[in-house]
Amino acid sequence: MKKTWIISMAAPLLLGLGWSATGLAADEYPNRAIKIIVPYAPGGGTDIFSRTLADILSKRFKQPVIVDNKPGANTFIGHQAISSAAPDGYTIGMISSSTTVLPLLTKSFTTNPVKDFTPISQLVTGNYALVVHPSVPVKNVAELIAYAKANPDKLNFGTAGGSIDLVVSLLKNKAGIEFTTVNYKGIAPARQAVLANEAQITLDVIGVANEMATAGRMKFLATTGAKRDPLAPNVPTVGESGLPGFAADFWWGYGGPAGLPPAIVKTLHGAIVDALKSPDFIRQINTNGNNPVGNTPDEFARIIASDVQMWAGAAKAAGVTPQ
């Protein structure tokens, strides 16, 4: 009884001094390893950027920062792992424009993009490259639409899930075409499927599309943004090469579970913004066809909320409903 009394009296004393159950004060964050969850397979941009950031943060915090890839279930596995983690700053994750789209596509994706995450900072924005296997006899989007209408059973569209699925649905509906959609666990596996001619079309990152087109391994038909991308200035947009008015951009950023303490958010946000000052990191981001951002948590939160509304309207217009 005496030992129990001593422990029970010590607990409130420690809490009163600002100590947590982990044994260290909150203002000493981080005092152990941080995990960055990536809801995609290794090899894609989200994975590459997260590993670079992990290395920068590890040096800054003098603690291990580990990337944990959790692909599958149309990215729901990874997103659920982020949202269900303890709000202590030791598990954060890559969230993206797909996070705002998934609830519109699949009934099983029950994570709320506004309520279930604490935004930290948007890392990059960009747009996709529409590429096809060299065997597809087309040179532009107009020819692709005509070929798809004439050959509805000959084209498999490899997708990486998330927002890409809605972009594909919008493309199909706006162009009035049909093809078989095949889901993969990330952009890298979808790319490999096209290279192997298992799929004939996909949306890839612009930097890789440039390389593959130069090597003759893919045809780079168009970019999906509202205007031409600086990394592919000679490649037209989908809108200007066969589908007027079509535009679809994407973004990636970092967030934690809901309820992440403001002080920890401030620490992580400052570290990410400082990481974006690295010339090597900026070069990597640009090479992959993206633009660095590093906005505030409040700005990022507003973008997430705005995208939820935008994609809901787009899905309604395209007749897309959760399956």
Residue spans of the domains in the chain: they are 32-125+250-318, 129-223
Q: How far apart are CA 201 and CA 305, in angstroms?
A: 31
Domains 32-125+250-318 and 129-223 share a fold: yes
Is the alpha carbon torsion for 12, 15, 21, 22 positive or negative? negative
**Chain centroid to CA 186: how far?**
10
End-to-end CA distance of the chain: 59
List, for residues 278-309, the tens digit of each pLDDT value: 999 999 998 777 889 999 999 999 999 998 98
List, for residues 56-101, the tens digit of each pLDDT value: 999 999 999 999 999 988 888 999 999 999 999 999 999 998 889 8
3-state secondary structure of 12: helix
pLDDT of residue 29: 97
- The CATH fold assigned to 129-223 is D-Maltodextrin-Binding Protein; domain 2 (3.40.190)
Reported CATH class of domain 32-125+250-318: alpha beta
**Ranges of the chain whose pLDDT falls below 70:** 1-27, 162, 318
Strand partners, 130: 203, 222
Characterize the bridge pairing of strands 219-223 and 129-132.
antiparallel
